[in-house]
Each structure stands twice: as structure tokens, then as C-alpha cells.
Amino acid sequence: MKEIAMHAHIVLAHPEPQSYNAHLAATARHALEAQGWSVSISDLYQLDFDPCERASHYVERIAPQKFDVQSEQRHASGGGTIPADVASEIALLEKADLVILQYPMWWHLPPAILKGWMDRVFIYGDVYTSKQRFEHGRFVGRRAMISVTVGTSEATYAHNGRSGDIDLLLWPINFSLAYVGFEVLNHFVAYGVEAGLRYSDSATVDARLAKITTEWSSLLHNLDSIPSIPFNKMAHWGADGLVTPDSPVYSPFIRRKRTLELE
């Protein structure tokens, strides 16, 4: 029996085509293509993707007098008038068996263009509804993961590091991926990239970046070894929207105890 070809889609959010983030996106592409995958890339800056949700994106408004985002998104989803740039991105996600978000950490968050991409592409109606999310989400059966670069060392992003716990910093993006149905793989973090480029000698920088590239390529050659990040399912919440007493707790963000004991 002929094997079904796998497809990956990479969403790149960095303004410089020669950046290390662009290099990691290309590394992912080569690593997956070497295994027989097909790969597409949405380079958001090169696409000049508009991250701002606007009334002007919607040609057939349900309420021209006042712009209600969810109402207009739902109306466009139902009427087949989703903005062309958004529809194109949804089609790429629909085709993908694996989605990779590649970006630098800026002020503890993704670049605005990537957050805006999520605001617009994860559109109410077509991508998610109250009944179409988590284990019932649009992208159930597909995997997604973050590949992010940060400025300082792994130690500074530990649970007791000065930059904050990297797992908690990335939780909102991972949670959003889970919300629309993806199985979320554990993130890949390239440490010491931005600050390292400025404050280290060239030989040290080259060695560090080469090591990261090798690790990233190797990881993608062993995708099935990457653990999934657990999230609660719709079945774990009661009618009041609260996690039920017998449900698992996976994160400080969704828990049963109101106050966390920090020491």
C-alpha cells in the first residue's frame, strides 16, 4: 500500500529574511522534506499580513453601524465571505499534519504580527464555536508546536530564572493551539540567540547557533519522540465552566486551589 505523504506548514514571524528564525524555519523545511514531507511556509512579514482585525476586512457586514468582531467573523464564516488572506491561511492549516509556529520572544510574548494572525485566522464560526473546540476542535487529528528563540540562557528561563518559567510564558499560545483542536507537542526553545549575537565573540556565537540547528533538525527527525502537552478537555468542565473535582489538573493556569503555595 502506498504511504500517504505528510504535509507540514510553518508560520514564520520575523521581519528579517536572513534572521536566525528564518534559518530555523528553513532548517525545519529541509529536515521534514528529507523524510518525504511536503512543506509550506507563511512568512507573515513578507506576506505583509495585516495583524489588525478591522471592519474593512468584511465586505458584507451584518451590522454596518457597529463593528462587533465575533458577529462579523461568524457572519463571514456562514456566508462564505471570509477575508481572502484569512481563508488562505485556514486552507494551509487544514492541509497540514503538523503546524510549526516559528518566532522570537519579544517582551515575553510573540511578535504582534503572530498574535494578530491568531486573532484573525482562528476565526469564530469557521475555526471555532462553543461546540467546536478542544477535543471537538476544527484541527483535531493534527499536531502543532512552537519553535521560539529567546535572548538569554536556559537557566534564566527555568522555574526560578530571572526571565520567568518558559513553560508558563508559552502556555497561552500552546493553549490557543489546543483550543482549536491541535495536539500540542512540547515546544522547542533556542536559548541565547538575540543577546548572544551581540555580546559573545563570533566563534562562540557560531558554535552555539550550529548546535541549536543540529538539535532542531534532529528533533524533527524524531517527531514521534516529542511528548504532547496535556490540556483539559471540554468533558473536564462542568456546566458552570469550572473544572470538575474528579478532573485532572495540568497547569497552574487551570487548577482547583485558588491560592498557590509559592514556598
Other Cβ atoms closer than 10 A to 54:
12
What is the band of 1 on the pLDDT scale with cuts at 50, 70, 90?
Answer: very low
The answer on 167 and 47 residing in a single domain is yes
Compute the C-alpha angle 1/185/179, nearest 5°.
Answer: 105
Predicted confidence at residue 193, as pLDDT, reads 85
Quick one: average pLDDT of 82-106?
Answer: 97
The answer on 172 and 258 residing in a single domain is no
Other Cβ atoms closer than 10 A to 133:
18
Contact in structure between 42 and 92 (CB atoms under 8 Å): yes
Quick one: 229 exposed, middle or buried, by C-beta within 10 A (0-12, 13-18, 19+)? buried
Asked if the structure places residue 139 within a domain, the reply is yes
The answer on 260 and 184 residing in a single domain is no
User: What residue numbers bound the domain in which 123 lies?
Assistant: 7-231
Quick one: average pLDDT of 75-98?
Answer: 96
Predicted confidence at residue 198, as pLDDT, reads 58
What percentage of the chain has pLDDT greater than the value 90?
86
Asked if the structure places residue 185 within a domain, the reply is yes
Task: Give me the residue label for grid cell 512540547.
Answer: 186
Predicted confidence at residue 71, as pLDDT, reads 96
Asked if the structure places residue 2 within a domain, the reply is no
The answer on 77 and 20 residing in a single domain is yes
Asked if the structure places residue 183 within a domain, the reply is yes
Contact in structure between 136 and 234 (CB atoms under 8 Å): yes
Task: Give me the residue label for grid cell 485556514.
Answer: 90
The answer on 248 and 188 residing in a single domain is no
Contact in structure between 39 and 28 (CB atoms under 8 Å): yes
Quick one: average pLDDT of 179-202?
Answer: 82
Asked if the structure places residue 197 within a domain, the reply is yes
Provide the grid cell at 82.
Answer: 471570509
Residue 214 has pLDDT above 90, yes or no: yes
Q: Residue 32 maps to which CATH number? A: 3.40.50.360
The answer on 253 and 223 residing in a single domain is no
Asked if the structure places residue 32 within a domain, the reply is yes
Predicted confidence at residue 206, as pLDDT, reads 81
Asked if the structure places residue 138 within a domain, the reply is yes
Provide the grid cell at 43.
Answer: 512568512
The answer on 189 and 98 residing in a single domain is yes
The answer on 240 and 167 residing in a single domain is no
Quick one: average pLDDT of 131-145?
Answer: 95
The answer on 93 and 216 residing in a single domain is yes
Quick one: average pLDDT of 94-101?
Answer: 97
Predicted confidence at residue 205, as pLDDT, reads 77
Count of positions (residues) in the chain: 263
The answer on 255 and 220 residing in a single domain is no
Sign of CA dihedral 176, 177, 183, 185: negative
Tally the domains of the chain. Answer: 2
Mean predicted lDDT score pLDDT of the chain: 93
The answer on 206 and 137 residing in a single domain is yes
Contact in structure between 221 and 31 (CB atoms under 8 Å): yes
Contact in structure between 140 and 99 (CB atoms under 8 Å): no
Asked if the structure places residue 1 within a domain, the reply is no
What percentage of the chain has pLDDT greater than the value 70?
96
What is the band of 230 on the pLDDT scale with cuts at 50, 70, 90?
Answer: very high
**Rounded-to-integer distance, Cα 44 and Cα 144, Å:** 18
- Helix, coil or strand: residue 147: strand
The answer on 132 and 74 residing in a single domain is yes
**Rounded-to-integer distance, Cα 189 and Cα 206, Å:** 17
**Rounded-to-integer distance, Cα 126 and Cα 62, Å:** 16
Contacts of 142 (CB under 8 A, 6+ apart): 93, 96, 97, 98, 99, 181, 182, 183
Predicted confidence at residue 197, as pLDDT, reads 53
Residue 245 has pLDDT above 60, yes or no: yes
Q: Which backbone phi and psi does 178 adopt, to 5 degrees?
A: -65, -35
Quick one: average pLDDT of 215-227?
Answer: 95
